[in-house]
């Protein structure tokens, strides 16, 4: 449901409930809230943040900690996020009139897509509140009802027990007597009346005794605050020999945990407190039952691979609901004993024992002894960033030393942002960021600029960090000033970003940099404490990193079930489909790379049900994702192909068709193509479809718009209008709709602008609905899941007259045709400069 239903039911001049319309707050975790509501009947309102709203259920008896007790939860209208803080009286006579009290609040997570789980009817999730903790389930009932009914029940985990929500009311604001009399008072068990939920069960172990058995261990006071973390130096290759152990280099945020008198606090590597940012990690460490401790590890999401770093960032910002894990790799203090001087292997053995039967949020970071090259290779195969190699016999010391070394799979590094260039075309805020790195002679040296890898949200975030600071005077040493830099805006090193790059060019400037992340966990001063060695020249180092990066490039996935028949009537197998996409890879990639993507998958072939998929699914490890909001307001992790390996992974998952957005993932709000899909109704000969395409081309030319042609692989043709620079979707959709309606109005016997099937007889439906945010059209060179394995094929306008059918090109004929083809019929489509701005006020072109 949308917030319009919430608005419809309320008079905001009579109730203090928050009115929707305010911008959703950013930068906090996805929240949950439970409110005790004395309306006409007493109930608990259970709310989970999904996107920019609170999904809401009314639970008459409240949540139960007993996994056997399943409570009815009636789905109600979505509420605005501000409602999480609401408490007080709703006036009598108004919708929901009665007293609302805060019962519990906190953050929540789930493994997988929350919206997809809700759509399927079973959401598995975890709550991290003061009263409600651990795993829970919401399962939709199959019973017919005016409002959807669900069952809310507890997972059988360490927090399960006999408590009811009514047993946890000791600190909840009481409703007025009149409300209690009217709505009821619940069934509190006075013997169990409390304010907090039970704690998870703990093991009773004399950890101090075990710690004192380590070499070099000594009794010491509990840590009073954050400690200096040990840091690794960047190496060219893993160190060899049995003196070293090798761990995964997790792609996350370094977190230091301290426990003092049982109180857990979490810190970033720069001593910024993170305790309240990740309450599930705080509670998990607390569940170990320690009096004092100092732990070192990495906060990760998913598996902690390179691909999971975006999940971590978007979870911490509240955009997603990922489950977080604290991957622990070192232990410095345990229940009054300092073990930092003990050998690393002894510390890790004690740490591993400590983490046995620990909460899910804590993980032991294992290692490989010796065999550094093999460990590095394995890390690359599993898509990790690299490895950290450590001397097995050494103590723990803060700062950077040769005792810890890191070897990265990808060439990436951190730089200070020292300025920006002006935006061009459709981009707002800035064009590119100017980067610098520490330099012994000049203080800071210009390292190049990064202008790719930015989502719209990231552009806004970085623009806010930049503010209005700057001047035209460079703030760093520039070996050679080029023309663009003379008009750039400069300021002193301001914040840190991490970028991927492919080596260093002349003047030690980055080659092909792309933004990886804004490193909010690091400060500019951290770059001064550089891990970059000085024994090898920077250009040689960069070249080696570049070679290593190429070596570690994503490999093609393997093909399973190659003999499975996907096109039954034609005997075309999965191997045939694999071979087709391999053969035409250079043609299809430019059509889909970097664009949000929907695909049609046929797990058992085209003879049975295929399905449309736009979100990432379990098991996909190579294809990328991007978090986007559709025109409908829903959000999800959309598939994005970045390279051949990602496309072929989708083929391995039985994908036959590829349908990209008309925009790129980095600029999803800017359309760069308009597609008119000419769909003939019954009784329309193909010759009429061809004539319609030609006529539409002529009308577009009158509007100074060039167009390109594609056979759909079905019954019709696509007329494609490139936009460079792009246009916002509102204008694009308005233009496409107006153009289609104008055709239908001027020639109603030929054209139809409405999708109604009953009206299509002997007319061509001009489908303009491909031109909305989140809408897709089939990609050029994509197969179609239809008999004969036809292909959506771009053709030149001169080829149209000889064309007999829209499905004439097939899997078997296209590879050979492409080998013979001398010229790309769509040559210039990505460089042609034209847009719709001049028709912003007259979208139909009439």
Sign of torsion, CA 91 96 102 105?
negative
d(CA 390, CA 844): 67
Sign of torsion, CA 482 484 487 492?
negative
Neighbours of 501 (CB within 10 A): 26
In the beta sheet, which residues pair with residue 504?
Answer: 510
Catalytic residue among 249, 348, 408, 733: 249
Which residues, including other chains, have CB under 8 Å from residue 822's CB and lie 6 or more apart?
none
d(CA 145, CA 74): 10
Pair 373, 366: CB distance under 8 Å: no
- Among 83, 60, 88, which residue's Cα sits nearest to residue 73? 60
d(CA 304, CA 322): 12
Give the start-end residues of each E strand in 280-360.
Answer: 292-301, 324-334, 337-338
d(CA 34, CA 48): 9
SS3 content of the chain, % helix, strand, coil (to 5): 25, 30, 45
3-state secondary structure of 468: coil
User: Could you give the C-alpha distances from 835 to 318, 648, 666, 673, in angstroms and in order?
Assistant: 35, 34, 19, 9
Give buried/exposed letters for 619-643 (b at 16+ CB in 10 A, else e). ebebbbbbbbbbeeeebbbbbbbbb
249 catalytically annotated: yes
Sign of torsion, CA 191 194 197 199?
negative
User: Could you give the C-alpha distances from 453 to 141, 207, 517, 530, 813, in angstroms and in order?
Assistant: 43, 47, 9, 25, 37
Catalytic residues: 249
């Amino acid at each position: 449901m949308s917030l319009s239903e919430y608005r419809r039911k309320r008079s905001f001049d009579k109730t203090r409930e928050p009115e929707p319309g305010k911008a959703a707050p950013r930068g906090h975790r996805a929240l949950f809230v439970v409110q005790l509501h004395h309306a006409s009947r007493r109930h608990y309102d259970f709310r989970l943040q999904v996107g920019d709203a609170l999904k809401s259920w009314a639970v008459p008896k409240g949540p139960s900690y007993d996994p056997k007790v399943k409570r009815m939860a009636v789905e109600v209208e979505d509420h605005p996020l501000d409602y999480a803080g609401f408490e007080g009286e709703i006036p009598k006579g108004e919708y929901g009139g009665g007293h609302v009290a805060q019962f519990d609040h906190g953050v929540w997570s789930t493994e997988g897509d929350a919206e997809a789980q809700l759509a399927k009817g079973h959401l598995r999730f975890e709550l991290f509140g003061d009263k409600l903790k651990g795993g829970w389930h919401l399962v939709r009932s199959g019973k017919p009802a005016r409002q959807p009914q669900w069952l809310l029940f507890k997972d059988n985990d360490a927090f399960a027990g006999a408590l009811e929500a009514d047993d946890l009311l000791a600190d909840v604001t009481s409703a007025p007597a009149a409300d209690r009399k009217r709505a009821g008072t619940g069934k509190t068990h006075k013997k169990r009346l409390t304010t907090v939920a039970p704690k998870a069960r703990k093991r009773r172990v004399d950890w101090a005794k075990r710690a004192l058995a380590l070499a070099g261990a000594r009794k010491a006071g509990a840590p009073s605050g954050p400690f200096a973390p040990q840091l690794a130096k960047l190496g060219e290759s893993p160190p060899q020999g049995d003196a070293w152990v090798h761990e995964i280099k997790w792609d996350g945020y370094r977190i230091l945990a301290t426990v003092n008198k049982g109180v857990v606090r979490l810190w970033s590597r720069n001593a910024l407190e993170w305790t309240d940012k990740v309450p599930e990690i705080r509670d998990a460490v607390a569940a170990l039952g320690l009096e004092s401790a100092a732990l070192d590890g990495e906060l990760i999401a998913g598996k902690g691979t390179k691909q999971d770093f975006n999940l971590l960032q978007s979870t911490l910002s509240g955009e997603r609901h990922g489950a977080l894990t604290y991957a622990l790799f070192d232990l410095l203090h345990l229940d009054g004993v300092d073990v930092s001087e003990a050998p690393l292997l002894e510390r890790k053995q004690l740490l591993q024992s400590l983490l046995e039967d620990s909460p899910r949020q804590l993980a032991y970071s294992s290692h490989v002894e010796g065999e550094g090259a093999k460990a590095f290779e394995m890390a690359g195969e599993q898509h990790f960033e690299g490895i950290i190699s450590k001397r097995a016999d050494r103590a723990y010391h803060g700062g950077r030393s040769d005792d810890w070394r890191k070897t990265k799979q990808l060439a990436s590094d951190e730089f200070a942002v020292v300025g920006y260039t002006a935006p061009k075309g459709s981009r707002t805020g800035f064009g590119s960021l100017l980067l610098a790195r520490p330099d012994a002679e000049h203080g800071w040296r210009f390292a190049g600029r990064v202008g790719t890898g930015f989502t719209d949200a990231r552009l806004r975030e970085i623009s806010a960090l930049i503010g209005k600071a700057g001047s035209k005077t460079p703030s760093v040493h520039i070996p050679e000033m080029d023309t663009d830099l003379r008009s750039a805006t400069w300021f002193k090193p301001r914040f840190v970003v991490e970028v991927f790059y492919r080596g260093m060019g002349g003047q030690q400037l980055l080659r092909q940099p792309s933004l990886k992340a804004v490193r909010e966990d690091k400060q500019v001063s951290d770059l001064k404490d550089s891990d970059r060695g000085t024994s090898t020249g920077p250009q040689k180092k960069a070249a080696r990193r570049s070679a290593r990066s190429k070596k570690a490039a994503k490999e093609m996935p393997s093909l399973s079930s190659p003999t499975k028949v996907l096109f039954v009537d034609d005997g075309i197998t999965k191997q045939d489909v694999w071979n087709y996409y391999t053969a035409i890879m250079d043609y299809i990639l430019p059509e889909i790379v970097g664009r949000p993507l929907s695909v049609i998958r046929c797990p058992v072939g085209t003879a049975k049900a295929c399905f449309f998929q736009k979100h990432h699914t379990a098991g996909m490890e190579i294809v990328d994702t991007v978090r986007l909001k559709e025109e409908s307001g829903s959000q999800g992790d959309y598939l994005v192909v970045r390279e051949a390996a990602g496309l072929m992974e989708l083929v391995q998952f039985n994908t036959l068709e590829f349908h990209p957005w008309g925009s790129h993932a980095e600029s999803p709000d800017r359309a760069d193509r308009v597609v008119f899909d000419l769909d003939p109704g019954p009784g329309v000969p193909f010759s009429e479809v061809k004539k319609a395409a030609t006529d539409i081309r002529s009308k577009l030319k009158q509007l100074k718009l060039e167009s390109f042609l594609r056979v759909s692989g079905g019954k019709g043709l696509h007329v494609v209008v490139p936009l460079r620079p792009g246009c916002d979707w509102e204008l694009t959709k308005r233009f496409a709709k107006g153009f289609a309606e104008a055709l239908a109005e001027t020639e109603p016997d030929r054209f139809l602008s409405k999708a109604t099937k009953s009206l299509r007889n002997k007319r061509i439906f001009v489908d303009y609905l491909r031109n909305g945010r989140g809408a897709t059209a089939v990609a050029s060179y994509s197969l179609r899941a239809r008999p004969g394995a036809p292909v959506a094929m771009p053709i030149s306008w001169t080829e149209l007259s000889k064309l007999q059918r829209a499905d004439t090109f097939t899997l078997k004929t296209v590879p050979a045709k492409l080998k013979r083809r001398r010229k790309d019929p769509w040559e210039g489509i990505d460089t042609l400069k034209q847009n719709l701005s001049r028709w912003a006020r007259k979208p139909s072109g009439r």
